[in-house]
Amino acid sequence: MTTPIDTPISEDALRQALADGYRRLAELGLNTGSAGNISCRFDGGALISPSGADAHSIDAQAIVSITMDGENRSPGIPSSEWSMHTAIYRHYPQALAVVHTHSDACVALSAQRRPLPAFHYMLAGFGGDGVPCARYATFGTDALAQSAVDALAGHTACLLANHGMICHAVSIEKAVANAAKLETLARQYWMSAQLGAPVVLDAAEMATVRDRYRSYGKARLPRGAGAA
């Protein structure tokens, strides 16, 4: 769903987009079984995938409406990670949709408790010079929610130590796409690391990339002074 969540969209349409997004995460191999979750802002609270959902059973009616404090506004049991989602919405007004996955390469890096450094310029799309790894906390706890909020400062994605990843975006579709992009970059970093320590781009180059990203897709980019 490409329409930003802050434009008028019906609850039914958002529920369907979330169910579709959850299935898409499984199709992309980013989640298996009932792992991972997806949500969007809605009516001062959020719509979120239910606890124990899987790609075969989820539908629009299964999506749960909650307040920012996790109180149900519709039938169902919200994802065990609802507090992580709502904490991100409370702290980051620009976050309109959130995706959390247990995708393979992100989990592998998170188990090393290391950030994903700027080995590739596309990491600038997540807001910084790399993607940080949040400190470990037990799943489904307020401690994990706070850890994610802290790690996301200045970023739209982070790894979760010994767990996976989480990202936010301005639409459900964009959040799903960003989760897929982060998994691809994590896998590419892992592949490069098999050959030795990858060369990391410096802060000045990443600042240049972020500046060019401001016009990406909106206007023809100038060639600039860099090498072709």
Q: Determine the 3-state secondary structure of 164 from DSSP.
A: strand
Among 11, 27, 71, 81, the one annotated catalytic? 81
What kind and span of H or E run contains 169? strand 164-169
**Pairing of β 157-160 and β 164-169:** antiparallel
Torsion of CA 16, 18, 24, 28, to 10 degrees: 180
Which residue from 171, 167, 182 is spatially nearest to 123, judged by alpha carbons?
A: 182
Q: Verify whether residue 183 is a known catalytic residue.
A: no
Residue 15: partners with Cβ closer than 8 Å, 6 or more residues away: 47, 60, 61, 63
Cα dihedral sign for 204, 179, 32, 24? negative
Active site residues: 81
